[in-house]
Chains A and B, each alone.
Chain A
Amino acid sequence: MVVGLAKYQNQQEAFPLDKKTLQNVALRSFLSGISFNSESSDSIGWLWAIQPALRKIHSDEEDCKLAMGHNLEHCSASSPLAPLAMGVVLSLEQQKCDLETIRSTRSIATYTCDAIGKMLVYYLFIPLLALSIIESARNGSIMAVAIYCVVLFLLQVILRFVSIQYGYKHGMRAIEKLQKNAGTLKKSMMIAGSFMLGAILVALGSGYAMQIAMSQDNSSIPTIAKLLPGVLTVVMGLLLHYLLVKKNFSMGKCVIVVVLVSFIIALVQNII
């Protein structure tokens, strides 16, 4: 199994990545959201985007496989600011940090960038831009729509190409200072990562109430989902963790458990 608790064999710091490789990663990030899946979110796209950089960083074949394996774990990479997280993670990979440090940083960085990127684009720029051109569009102005399209696309391009350079540069600077106490850093990042994982479970579960509301009948939302959003995903996360660690369940078996539970919940809701 590639993913796990192994360490990089070659602990020596790699050569810094050149601008061209980082731009290649930023370009690939445009396609990182296409393989979105329910289990690991954008992990396939994330790995595909940073693959050229990982190959440059890890000259050791086994280390490269290990890096590719752990970068297939759950992460979110569909926002226009995802390259910022990619830059930070690549700076950690370049410094050959512990896998636990990289995992925790990736979980925090990807979700933070996702939240900031989407709030910036979808809650700020799009409403502002849409409201300012919508009247012209109603009056039949194609030019207004073209401007809307070009501005949104340019915004994405700028955010992606600038943020990867920024993330990598500042990630390198920070990690060079912090890496002196690698053991302490690993412990602190594991604490931050554990905190974040609990929170992500709740936040993802909060979508449960929203999904049920898709039936356009808000009264059908169970009270427990209203009071404790995400309680179901937390319970499910702990159950799956138990099955993986204690019962040595395979991923396939875990997927079957989730599918069965989901269909049972949907059926019960349908009957009620």
Chain B
Amino acid sequence: MNIIIFFIAFVLAIDEFALTQTLHRPLIASTIVGALFGDVQTGLLIGAYLELASLSFEETFFLNFRKSLVLASVLCTALSATKTLSSEETMALAVSIIIVGTALSHIIDFVVTLLLPLSRNQAEKGKSVFVYQLIALLIRGVAFGVCASYLFSKGTEIPALLSSITTTNGWIFNAFAIIGVLLPSLGIAVLMRNLSVKDNYGIFFAGVSVAMLAYYVSKNFYVTILLVALLAIGLGYYDFNRAEKETVKTTNKGGGEKWW
């Protein structure tokens, strides 16, 4: 049983970021797990619940920032299908499992960051970075597989275990979540250096202010990005046209135009 859980969590965790990017959806994932454990009906029920919940999480639980529902889909369905816990009990556990799954995802994101220097070395030599793609894939799959099979092996102790994990080790999860939010600043700082942003600090801070305003109004990452990207394109277009017109004017003054 644990091997099935490991395997299915392994595949779905990878599918969340690569391959079909479809199978990990709670409705599909839970149906597959339900079918593997011989109880499709429970799989469909829990899948439908989690799918609807995931849509509502977008707005209510603020979990839309790289939340991972793979662990919840696999564990909730497996626990219900094997009658370890009732459907109501597993559904009540769903949010705690999503938190653990999301935290695990953040820890993996940090671990995969350690592959970046190696990838840079490969790129410097002009070699393929496929090995690091493969390592990242295995890290993600194995971590989710081990976590899912470990939690599943705890059976009826899961509620107490999850509660102790989220309360006693909550600050460590939080630390990795904050790393997940702050570390992209390093990637952006490298781009800032390579784009010589110091020559355009005014524009940089204009971007900061507009994004703050857009986020404050929309409360949505993607809407903010889209609004700001359109503004950035507009800004670049305006500057390009203005510079072109100025070039034409200068050329005309010193060139063939009869100013007299």
Contact = CB atoms under 8 A, between A and B. Distances in A.
Interface of A: 1-5, 30-41, 43-45, 47-48, 51, 61, 64-65, 68-74, 78, 80, 99-100, 103-104, 107-108, 111-112, 114-116, 118-119, 122-123, 126-127, 130-131, 133-134, 137-138, 140-142, 145, 148-149, 152-153, 156, 178, 181, 184-185, 187-216, 218, 228-234, 236-238, 240-241, 244-245, 251-252, 254-255, 258-259, 261-263, 265-267, 269-270
B92 interface: no
Nearest to B177: A211
Contact of B233 (A39, A192, A200): A192
B160 interface: no
Given A38-B110, A203-B224, A262-B179, A140 B239 contact: no
Interface in B169-183: 170-183
B4 interface: no
A34 B236 CA distance: 32
Nearest to B167: A215
B123 A72 contact: yes
8 contacts: A73-B187, A80-B21, A112-B230, A137-B48, A141-B44, A149-B28, A199-B225, A251-B190
Contacts of A218: 62
Contact of B183 (A193, A252, A255): A255
Interface of B: 14, 17-23, 25, 27-28, 31, 40-41, 44-45, 47-48, 51-52, 55, 58, 61-66, 95, 99, 102-103, 106, 109-110, 112-113, 115-117, 119-120, 123-126, 128-130, 132-133, 136-137, 140, 170-201, 203-208, 210-212, 214-216, 221-226, 228-233, 235-237, 239-240, 243-244, 247
A152 to B, nearest CB: 4
A195 B206 contact: yes
Interface of A, helix, strand, loop or mixed by DSSP: helix
A184 B240 CA distance: 6
B235 A192 contact: yes
Contacts of A206: 215, 221, 224
Given A203-B221, A237-B189, A241-B189, A44 B195 contact: no
Nearest to A35: B136
A45 to B, nearest CB: 6
B113 A37 contact: yes
A33 B205 CA distance: 30
Contacts of B208: 198-199, 201-202, 230, 234
Given A38-B110, A115-B229, A153-B22, 10 more contacts: A34-B137, A115-B226, A116-B226, A190-B196, A202-B207, A206-B224, A207-B181, A230-B215, A232-B181, A237-B192
